[in-house]
């Protein structure tokens, strides 16, 4: 057992705790093929996976939220994805050992994600993570989503911890911003969905890691 200054480790979901890109890509490519378009290579989809349906539909169809066809396409995308929520999604390699290590050292862990609850909960249940998580905060749990501090602070309330006692791990700039806004320490998961255009070294995180096993080393 080791002594850590943190009582709670909070994870972003997509691209940090769970590798969901294969199933998000499946949903996008299914939609593309239904519309008579060629599927995209997984390497193109993966860096965009953290940006949800908006980012993926922009990648696949070149449309923004304001486009008249966006709502219908998004609904179809979400429907396909919900039906295949854990088709290939898995914990990142080494993450189960991290979760086991946290539990063994009496450090609680939870999830704060911008994924809506109707997708978050089924995914967590499918991967048998729900009971082990000390809290699960989705995009619609609070009136605001990341980078607003509201979901982060709500997670603190759920686990009865102060922000200073928590650390947040994510793979997007908004994750680090959310941690800063909530006065939590932050870690960038470089193994996640980092695009070539991203510059995580400028996000002012407390640490950057290349593999989940570094989480236990850092805390």
Residues forming the active site: 12
Let me know the angle formed at the C-alpha of 18 by 4 and 124, rounded to the nearest 5 degrees. 95
Cα separation values, 69 from 31, 74, 149, 217, Å? 13, 9, 32, 47
Pairwise CA distance, residues 1 & 18, whole Å: 26
- Whether 134 and 107 have beta carbons less than 8 Å apart is answered as no
């Amino acid at each position: 057992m080791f002594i850590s200054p943190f009582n709670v480790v909070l994870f972003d979901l997509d691209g940090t705790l769970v590798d969901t890109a294969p199933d998000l890509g499946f949903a996008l490519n299914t939609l593309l093929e239904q519309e008579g378009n060629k599927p995209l290579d997984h390497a193109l989809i993966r860096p965009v996976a953290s940006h949800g349906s908006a980012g993926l539909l922009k990648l696949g169809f070149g449309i923004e939220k304001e486009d008249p066809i966006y709502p219908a396409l998004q609904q179809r995308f979400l429907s396909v994805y919900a039906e295949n929520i854990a088709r290939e999604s898995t914990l990142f390699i080494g993450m189960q050992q991290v979760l086991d290590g946290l539990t063994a050292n009496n450090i609680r862990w939870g999830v704060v994600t911008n994924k809506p609850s109707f997708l978050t909960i089924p995914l967590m249940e499918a991967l048998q993570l729900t009971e082990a998580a000390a809290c699960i905060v989705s995009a619609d749990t609070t009136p605001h989503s990341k980078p607003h501090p509201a979901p982060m602070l709500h997670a603190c309330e759920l686990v009865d911890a102060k922000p200073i006692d928590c650390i947040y791990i994510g793979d997007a700039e908004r994750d680090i911003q959310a941690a800063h806004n909530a006065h939590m320490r932050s870690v960038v998961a470089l193994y996640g969905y980092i695009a070539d255009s991203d510059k995580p070294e400028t996000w002012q995180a407390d640490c950057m890691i290349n593999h989940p096993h570094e989480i236990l080393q850092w805390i």
